[in-house]
């Protein structure tokens, strides 16, 4: 089998199995089997697969057909220009979540430009560490913490920090929400918490439901359980004038804002599709 045939066959199988972006997936996975970059596809379409490459190809295409996300097969996902390792222990970082990072950076510029070195930030439910690591890559002087309830996720976050040479700058700890931090005060609490309702499980993509960790996706019947516990804790943990920045679900903006009564400068940022995606609120 030649490279171009391998891509065509994978493409056809992905179309048949309704895999999203079938051509992109076919190309990415075939190149992953060969350990090659994208340009190889055009430079060597006639590359003849060795027997072990054919076997690996069959295994990987079958995995993807069954719904396993490409990122769990390749073990990588880019976020904020950083190459992150991912496994089924962590949510695959989504491009929309970069709006959380953007929002924090904008607020830092607005509110803290005189003294950025003293900013202390915590990322609650850090997963792969994507938000904490992106912020650390942009703000070398900030003190950044990340926490998660999952030991496996924390292990992945620490591996990512070490690979990106950010291991000395971000401190990852196991915690149920902000529990471990006691009286410590923060200038920013940021989070992309689980926010899908168990009642909405049938609307969730199959690959999310079957492959991504449930603790990373679901939050009670209507998706609000974590916000309900987290927001009062955040209010306690923030310095006055500090910011809470959180990703929100498709239909949770009004309910999250309800929980932020008494906060000031509550604002929403939409993603590139115009969907409300990030809520920021300041503690008076
Ligand atoms: C939606 S994922 C976000 C992961 C990562 N921050 C991102 O944006 O890709 C939510 C994360 O919150 C963690 N989590 C769920 N419940 C938690 C809790 N009670 N305390 C701390 N972390 C929790 C999950 O393990 C998961 O890693």
64's tokens = 């993807």
- 225 and 187 in a single domain? The answer is yes
- 51 and 158 in a single domain? The answer is no
Closest ligand 1 atom to 193 CA: 10
Q: How far apart are CA 10 and CA 24, in angstroms?
A: 10
Q: How far apart are CA 106 and CA 282, in angstroms?
A: 14
The structure's pTM equals 0.95
Residues constituting the chain: 284
Closest ligand 1 atom to 150 CA: 25
Tally of CB atoms within 10 A around 84: 26
Tally of CB atoms within 10 A around 253: 17
Burial 187-219 (b: 16+ CB within 10 A, else e): bbbbbbbbbbbeebeeeeeebbbebbbebbbbb
Closest ligand 1 atom to 93 CA: 9
DSSP H or E segment with residue 267: strand 264-270
Instruction: Give the domain-ending residue among 31, 66, 101.
Output: 66
- 59 and 100 in a single domain? The answer is no
Mean pLDDT by 10 residues, the chain (284 residues): 96 95 95 95 94 96 95 97 98 98 93 74 98 96 96 98 95 98 97 95 88 96 96 97 95 95 96 95 96
The alpha carbon of 131 and the centre of ligand 1 are apart by a number of angstroms equal to 11
- The structural domain count of the chain equals 2
Q: How far apart are CA 55 and CA 50, in angstroms?
A: 9
For ligand 1, atom 7, name the residue with the nearest CA.
93
Question: Does residue 99 lie within any of the structural domains?
Answer: yes
Q: How far apart are CA 70 and CA 246, in angstroms?
A: 27
Beta bridge mates, 188: 121, 243
94's tokens = 């989504």
Question: Does residue 258 lie within any of the structural domains?
Answer: yes
- 146 and 55 in a single domain? The answer is no
- 160 and 273 in a single domain? The answer is yes
CATH number at residue 171: 3.40.50.150
- 238 and 137 in a single domain? The answer is yes
Q: How far apart are CA 167 and CA 160, in angstroms?
A: 8
Question: Does residue 161 lie within any of the structural domains?
Answer: yes
- 255 and 138 in a single domain? The answer is yes
**Which residues, judged by CB distance below 6 Å to any ligand atom, belong to the binding site of ligand 1?**
91, 93, 97, 124-128, 130-131, 147-150, 153, 175-177, 192-194, 215-216, 226
Question: Does residue 81 lie within any of the structural domains?
Answer: no
Q: What integer pLDDT is reported at residue 133 of this predicted model?
A: 98
- 147 and 228 in a single domain? The answer is yes
- 136 and 228 in a single domain? The answer is yes
Question: Does residue 202 lie within any of the structural domains?
Answer: yes
Tell me the residue ranges of DSSP E strands in the chain.
Answer: 76-79, 82-85, 120-124, 143-148, 170-174, 186-191, 238-247, 264-270, 276-282
Question: What's the distance, CA 275 to chain centroid?
Answer: 17
Question: Does residue 243 lie within any of the structural domains?
Answer: yes
The alpha carbon of 276 and the centre of ligand 1 are apart by a number of angstroms equal to 20
For ligand 1, atom 19, name the residue with the nearest CA.
176
Q: Structural domain of residue 198, as residue ranges?
A: 89-282
Q: What integer pLDDT is reported at residue 206 of this predicted model?
A: 83
For ligand 1, atom 4, name the residue with the nearest CA.
127
- 177 and 259 in a single domain? The answer is yes
Closest ligand 1 atom to 195 CA: 1
- 182 and 258 in a single domain? The answer is yes
Backbone torsions φ then ψ of 50, nearest 5 degrees: -75, 165
- 153 and 278 in a single domain? The answer is yes
């Amino acid at each position: 089998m030649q490279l171009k045939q391998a891509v065509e066959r994978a493409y056809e199988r992905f179309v048949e199995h309704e895999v999203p972006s079938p051509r992109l997936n076919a190309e990415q996975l075939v190149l992953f089997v060969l350990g090659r970059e994208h340009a190889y596809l055009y430079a060597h379409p006639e590359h003849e697969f060795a027997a072990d490459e054919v076997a690996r190809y069959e295994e990987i295409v079958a995995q993807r057909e069954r719904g396993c996300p490409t990122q769990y097969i390749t073990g990588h996902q880019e976020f904020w220009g950083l190459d992150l390792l991912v496994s089924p222990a962590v949510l695959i970082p989504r491009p929309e979540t970069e709006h959380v990072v953007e929002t924090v950076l904008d607020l830092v510029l607005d509110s803290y430009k005189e003294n950025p070195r003293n900013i202390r930030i915590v990322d609650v439910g850090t997963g792969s560490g994507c938000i904490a690591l992106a912020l650390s890559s942009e703000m070398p002087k900030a003190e950044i913490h990340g926490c998660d309830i999952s030991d496996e996720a924390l292990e992945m976050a620490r591996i990512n920090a070490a690979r990106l040479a950010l291991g000395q700058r971000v401190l990852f700890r196991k915690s149920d929400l902000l529990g471990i931090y006691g009286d410590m005060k923060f200038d920013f609490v940021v989070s992309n918490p689980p926010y899908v309702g168990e009642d909405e499980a049938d609307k969730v993509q199959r690959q999310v439901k079957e492959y991504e960790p449930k603790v990373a996706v679901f939050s009670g019947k209507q998706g609000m359980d974590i916000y309900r516990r987290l927001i009062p804790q955040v209010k306690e943990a923030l310095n006055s004038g500090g910011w809470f920045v959180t990703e929100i679900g498709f239909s949770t903006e009004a309910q999250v804002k309800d929980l932020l009564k008494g906060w000031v400068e509550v604002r929403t940022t939409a993603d590139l599709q115009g969907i409300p995606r990030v809520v920021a609120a300041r503690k008076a």
